[in-house]
């Protein structure tokens, strides 16, 4: 997994270099930096990374516009936003573009690495600070929480009594990814624990 290319798009060079250094120390060997977001489209035509790690606020173009462009033209690329912005309007617009994660810039090193691994394995992660926005945005008009197919897989195995480690082995993902799916399901449903989650799933036809 660590040989998958990552591109950091951020006009704050010092921050970008710090993130690259952190990723490199943790085994991610192919990490590049792009300071000018206007060059992203042409770069992706020849050097498409597996994951884009982007800020929202940049001098010439913003991360919302770039996310929409990437999702439309390069749908296979994963998108992780790393920003200090927590305003609802920004988060909702980014969610609409189909980003895979949103991390607040004051997140710790461990959370950043964990988030990158989760997204590269096909999961999603959003900082707790944006959880309330995620909760409201991922509800259907009926008010029922929307679970992804992978979340339903995890939930089914939880209901069958499998441990986190066993679920990890059966789905070929890391233990951390299983835990992230569990946390996201609790976040979306607003429930306190797994027992309530399973009860909710049966009552709403998810199991």
DSSP summary character for residue 139: B
97, 188: one domain: no
- Residue 199: both structure tokens together: 């009860």
Same domain, 31 and 109: yes
Q: Residue 125: helix, strand or coil by DSSP?
A: strand
Q: What's the pLDDT at 67?
A: 92
Q: What is the pLDDT of residue 74?
A: 92
Residue 191 has a pLDDT of 78
Q: DSSP assignment, residue 32?
A: E
pTM: 0.66
Question: Is 136 a member of any domain?
Answer: no
The answer on 86 and 58 residing in a single domain is yes
- One domain for residues 24 and 95: yes
Same domain, 106 and 156: no
Instruction: Say if residue 33 is in the same domain as residue 125.
Output: yes
Residues 109 and 35 in one domain: yes
The predicted structure's pLDDT at residue 38: 83
What pLDDT shows up at residue 86? 81
Total tally of structural domains belonging to the chain? 2
Asked whether residue 127 is assigned to any structural domain, the reply reads yes
Same domain, 119 and 156: no
pLDDT value at residue 43: 86
- Walk along the chain (207 residues) and give the pLDDT tens digit of each residue: 577 899 999 888 899 999 999 999 898 878 889 888 888 888 888 888 999 999 988 777 788 889 999 999 999 999 999 998 887 778 888 888 889 999 988 888 999 999 999 999 988 898 887 776 666 555 544 445 667 888 989 999 999 999 999 999 999 999 999 999 998 888 877 777 888 888 888 877 777
- Same-domain pairing of 176 and 95: no
Are residues 18 and 109 both part of a single domain? yes
Give the whole-angstrom CA distance, residue 77 versus residue 55. 16
Q: Which CATH number is 182's domain given? A: 1.10.10.10
What is the span of the domain harbouring residue 88? 6-131
Q: From the CB of residue 13, how many other CB atoms can be counted at a distance below 10 Å?
A: 11
| Whether residue 171 is found in the same domain as residue 118 | no
- Between CA 85 and CA 164 the distance in angstroms is 33
> 153 with 188, same domain?
yes
Total Cβ atoms within 10 A of residue 6: 23
């Amino acid at each position: 997994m660590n040989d998958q290319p990552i591109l950091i798009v951020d006009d704050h060079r010092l921050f970008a270099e710090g993130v690259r250094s952190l990723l490199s120390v943790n085994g991610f060997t192919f990490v590049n930096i792009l300071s000018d977001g206007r060059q992203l489209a042409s770069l992706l035509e020849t050097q498409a990374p597996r994951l884009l790690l982007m800020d929202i606020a940049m001098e010439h173009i913003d991360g919302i516009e770039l996310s929409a462009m990437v999702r439309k033209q390069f749908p296979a690329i994963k998108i992780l936003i790393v920003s200090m912005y927590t305003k609802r309007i920004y988060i909702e617009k980014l969610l609409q573009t189909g980003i895979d994660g949103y991390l607040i810039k004051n997140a710790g090193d461990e959370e950043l690495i964990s988030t990158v691994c989760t997204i590269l394995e096909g999961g999603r992660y959003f900082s707790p600070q944006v959880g309330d926005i995620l909760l409201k945005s991922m509800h259907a008009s009926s008010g029922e929480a929307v679970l992804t197919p992978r979340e339903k897989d995890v939930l089914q195995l939880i209901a069958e009594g499998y441990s986190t480690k066993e679920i990890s082995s059966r789905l070929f993902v890391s233990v951390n990814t299983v835990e992230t799916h569990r946390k996201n399901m609790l976040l979306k449903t607003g429930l306190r624990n797994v027992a309530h989650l399973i009860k909710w799933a049966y009552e709403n036809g998810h199991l």
